[in-house]
A and B are shown apart, each in its own frame.
Chain A
Amino acid sequence: MAVLGIESSAHTFGVGISYKGKILANAKEMYKITDKGMIPSRVAEFHANNAREVIQRAVSGSGIPLSEIEAISYTKGPGLGPCLRIGQLAAMTLSEMLSVPLYPVNHAIGHIQITTHLSGFKDPLAVYVSGGNSQILGITERRFRHYSVYGETLDIGVGNMIDNFARAAKLNPAWGSTVARIAENGHYMQMPYTVKGMDFTFTGLLTNAVKALSSHKVEDVAYSLQETAFSMIAEASERALLLSGKRGVILCGGVAQSKRLQEILTAMSKSHGVGFYTAPNEYNADNGAMIAYVGELMHRGGAKPGHGDYAVEQRYRIDGVDLKWL
């Protein structure tokens, strides 16, 4: 008996299957981003067209027949409304069809929980960096058990910031790995560095970098942008690590695939004698497996979603989620 989870918060439609914490399938199909970025309705259409095939691929790959799925989970948010609704609809249909319970999952908890699970750390500090999100979190028991946000971006996510820069610099494909490749030969120039306690902001850095493109070599700008952004995240994480007293650091979310960010946070963690872990790329990119995994935790932990809990929520905050099932 296993749990099937569906992820559709942004460009990826993913379906995973989890059984006793083991990932039996992690199928996905990703919308190809053009120079226009993501148009939510187009991406939703893409998901709708691919849903059936990706679900079938996950099920047949897992070796578990659909009839043995004991619960379904899906991403409730945060994410793009039209995209979330496709995943929700697919999940609701499956749950009706199989007469099994349905669990709405917070996307960020998906990334953090699967990474924590794979790391083997007991109660780590989580650095969650993706397109739309950049947060430093840890579980606390105050008032109720939940992820408390120690620090976060006060404007845009680090991934979107880097993608925006890549488009302004006319890089192709316009995303983080291209910026990282260009940055390899760059030299440092000063850029705005804004950390307020454990929070940080990226728009000033982005504006400055885009302006600098007209008068500086693109590799220097790319290098400095990346170093500055990652340093800010590392400094805020270090402060959160010392204040929270956590004994491990995990890095997750799309931007966690950055080798440079991994290197910086590994060194930071090591300097305080704590372990560092990031998952293989298939779990840092959006995926269904993490939603299936959290769905299984909720199912086994006795989560009882109420009638009003099933609606998708574009801005579904992680710190409001009660983890009593964990």
Chain B
Amino acid sequence: MALKKISEGAEADIYELELLGIKAVMKYRRPKPYLVKEIEESLRSTRTRTEARILSKASSLISAPKPLLVTKYAIIMEKLGGMQASKKSGFGRPSAEASGKAMAALHSSGIIHGDFTTANILVSGSTISVIDFGLSYYSSSVEDMAFDVLLFKRSVNEGDFNAFEGAYRNGFSKAGEVLKKLADIEKRGRYQNRSLETA
């Protein structure tokens, strides 16, 4: 199979390939030779395993890449269409609503995305897909969920966030609690001046 590197992330490289005629992407966690072996090993293999497990669950709930093949340090998953929302001018209410619905579905199953920003949302017409579950984990903590919402909030404008919030409330029974926690977090001094410069 011919590999073509399409992007270089903070901890993994993304390649494009074809697997049995299906367009796929491979996410390969690079070695971190500057860390002691034990820490490096656990970061690379444990995270790959966790991500694959969460992807297979998430892709049954929302539009997210289905893992096709998992090795020790790499996941080959289906390639989804669409354009990164962060690269479009303006996100738009329908996409924001769809994102709220998607996050509600993930949180209802105890999945925290960990990096839910417009850079990780693909928009294709009126549907959206969520990608990059590299920082995801399972948790039922309201605070963890609130951080997920906070990241999204920082990456969109107020109107889009309101649309997101409405859909999130409708889709998730504990949404009220999460949004209350979010208000608490935003009051903490440490986060008042933080702006997400890179989103």
Contacts and interface: CB of A to CB of B under 8 A. Distances in A.
Q: Do A and B bind each other?
A: yes
Interface of A: 140, 142-143, 148-150, 152, 154, 188, 190, 193, 196-197, 227-228, 231, 234-235, 238-239, 242-244, 263-265, 267-268, 271, 315, 317, 319-320
Given A150-B198, A244-B198, A196 B147 contact: yes
Residue from B147, B189, B195 whose CB has the most chain A CB atoms within 10 Å: B195
22 contacts: A140-B197, A142-B197, A143-B195, A149-B193, A188-B37, A188-B39, A193-B39, A193-B42, A227-B39, A231-B35, A234-B35, A235-B43, A238-B10, A238-B32, A239-B10, A239-B11, A242-B10, A263-B34, A264-B35, A267-B34, A268-B34, A271-B34
Contacts of B195: 142-143, 148
A197 B193 contact: no
Contacts, number: 70
A143 B197 CA distance: 10
B33 interface: yes
B115 interface: yes
B9 interface: yes
The 8 closest A-B pairs by CB, nearest first: A267-B34, A239-B10, A243-B198, A319-B193, A242-B10, A148-B197, A140-B197, A188-B38
A243 B10 contact: yes
A264 B34 CA distance: 5
B11 A231 contact: no
A239 B36 CA distance: 18
A187 to B, nearest CB: 10
Q: Is the interface of B mostly helix, strand, loop or mixed?
A: loop
Nearest to B192: A317
B187 interface: no
Interface string B91-110: 00000000000000000000
Contacts of A319: 193-194
Nearest to B30: A271
A267 B40 CA distance: 14
B10 A188 contact: no
B9 A242 contact: yes
Interface in B160-199: 189-190, 193-195, 197-198
B36 A188 contact: yes
Contacts of A140: 197
Interface string B7-44: 01111000000000000000000001111111100110
Contacts of B35: 227, 231, 234-235, 264
Nearest to A238: B10
Contact of B11 (A149, A188, A238): A238
A154 B190 contact: yes
Given A148-B195, A235-B32, A243-B10, 4 more contacts: A154-B190, A193-B43, A234-B32, A267-B34
Nearest to A230: B35
A227 B43 CA distance: 13
B3 interface: no
Nearest to A268: B34
Given A242-B10, A268-B34, A231 B39 contact: yes
Contact of B193 (A235, A263, A264, A320): A320
B8 A242 contact: yes
A154 B43 CA distance: 21
B69 interface: no
A227 B36 contact: yes
B11 A235 contact: yes
Contact of A231 (B36, B135, B198): B36
Contact of A228 (B34, B39, B198): B39
Contacts of B193: 149, 317, 319-320
A60 B20 CA distance: 78
A235 B134 CA distance: 14
A149 B147 CA distance: 17
Residue from B8, B32, B33 whose CB has the most chain A CB atoms within 10 Å: B32
A196 B114 CA distance: 8
Nearest to A245: B198
B190 A197 contact: no
Contacts of A196: 114, 135, 147
Contacts of A242: 8-10
Nearest to B193: A319
Contacts of A149: 193-194
Nearest to A188: B38
A264 B8 CA distance: 21
A263 B195 CA distance: 31
Nearest to B38: A188
B135 A197 contact: yes
